[in-house]
Amino acid sequence: MIVVSYNMAAALKRCLAALEQSAERAAFEIVVVDNGSEDESVEVIDSFPNVTPLRLPRNFGFVKALNIGMRTAKGEFFLFLNPKTEVLPDTVSALTAHLAKEADAVALSPAIATPDGQPAAHLYKLPRQADLRALAAAGEFEAAPVPEAAGETVAIEFAGFAALMVRSYFLKGLRHIDERYAQSWADAEIALQIRRAGKKTLLAPAIRAVWHPEDDLRRSMPANPLELLAADWALGAATYAAKHFGFGAGLKVRLSAIFSALFSFRLRRFSYLLTPQKIDGTQTMM
C-alpha cells in the first residue's frame, strides 16, 4: 500500500485505520509518504507503528513522492491509495486475488462510491491528442461511464489514483513514473503505457471502497496555491502531449494555457505557466 499525503491528517487517520483492519493485514506493507505536511500528519503516522513512514522536508509533488514510495516498497503489487479513500475489510485481499489471476491485466481498480452510495468519479477516458488543449483548460479528465459488468472484471480505459492496484514489475520496467509530471497526469501516463504494452486496466465492480469528498483540501486553499495547481495541471497536459504526440503538440497545449490565463486576467497562473513552475519542490509555496 502506498499512500501519498499532504496536509490531510484527518483523512489519513481514517485511511490508515481502515487498512489496519484489512483481512490478511500481515501479508502487506503500508508505506506512507508525507509530502512536507504542516498539519498533524506526522503525529497521525506515528500513531500507527506498523506503517513505514517516509517524511519529505517539503512538497515535492505527487509523482516524485510516489516514486520514492515505490523505491521503498517491496511488494509484487502496489496499491496506490488517496488518503480520502477508505477500504473495506476485504478490499485489499480481493484486489490482490483478482489481479493475480488476470494474466493480461496490469492494473485493477475497485468500484468506489461516496458514503451515501453515489458513484465517485474515478474512471476516465484516455486523453487523445485532439482533446489535450480542452483538458488543460478544464483542469480534470473527461469522466467515463461505469461499464456494464459481464463478469468479475471489466476492461476500462483508465482509473485514477483514488484506489489503483498495479503490478510492480510493470512500473519498475518503466523505471518508475516520469518525473516531468509533477502533481498530475501520472495516472493517464500509466494507463497509456499499459495500453501500448498490449495489457489491460480492469475494474472489479464487486470490490468496493469508499471515497470521502468532504476531505478535499482545495476547498480551504488560498488563491495562489490553487493557481499553482491549475498551472501544474496544464503543464502536465503539455508534458503528456509532447511525450506522446511530439514537441509541437506539447508547445501548442502550453501556449494555449498561457494565452488563456493572460486573456482571463489570471496573472498569477500566467506567471507560473510562463516560468514554468510546477509542484515539484521548486515552488515557493505548498
Q: Which pLDDT score is estimated for 150?
A: 63
Q: Which pLDDT score is estimated for 284?
A: 73
Q: Which pLDDT score is estimated for 199?
A: 96
- What is the chain's mean pLDDT, rounded? 93
In tens, the pLDDT along 132-175 reads: 999 999 999 999 988 877 678 999 999 999 999 999 999 988 88
Does 280 have pLDDT greater than 80? Answer: yes
Does 220 have pLDDT greater than 60? Answer: no
Q: Which pLDDT score is estimated for 215?
A: 65
Give the residue among 243, 260, 222 at the shortest CA–CA distance from 136.
Answer: 260
Helices (H), 54-185: 62-72, 91-101, 132-138, 168-173
| Element holding 46 (H helix, E strand) | helix 41-46
In tens, the pLDDT along 68-78 reads: 999 999 889 99
Question: How would DSSP label each residue in 154-212?
Answer: EEESEE-TTEEEEEHHHHHHTTS--TT--SSSHHHHHHHHHHHTT-EEEEEEEEEEEE-
In tens, the pLDDT along 3-35 reads: 999 999 999 999 999 999 999 999 999 999 999
Question: How would DSSP label each residue in 215-282?
Answer: G-GGGG--HHHHHHHHHHHHHHHHHHHHHHH-HHHHHHHHHHHHHHHHHTT-HHHHHHHHTT--SSS-
* Mean pLDDT of all residues in 212-231: 78
Q: Tell me the sheet residues that pair with 52.
A: 31
Positive or negative: CA dihedral 132, 189, 163, 183: negative
In tens, the pLDDT along 206-216 reads: 999 999 987 66
Does 222 have pLDDT greater than 90? Answer: no
| Element holding 54 (H helix, E strand) | strand 52-56
Q: Quick one: cell of 157?
A: 480505459
Q: Which pLDDT score is estimated for 72?
A: 92
Q: Tell me the sheet residues that pair with 200.
A: 105
At residue 69, the 3 state secondary structure works out as helix
- The Cα-based distances of 101 to 75, 94, 187 in angstroms read 16, 11, 23
Q: Supply the pTM of this predicted model.
A: 0.93
In tens, the pLDDT along 30-58 reads: 999 999 999 999 999 999 999 999 999 99
> Tell me: domain 2-215, CATH 3.90.550.10, correct?
yes
Q: Which pLDDT score is estimated for 218?
A: 66
In tens, the pLDDT along 90-108 reads: 999 999 999 999 999 999 9
State how far Cα 24 lies from the chain centre.
Answer: 25
Q: Which pLDDT score is estimated for 221?
A: 61
Q: Quick one: cell of 33?
A: 509518504
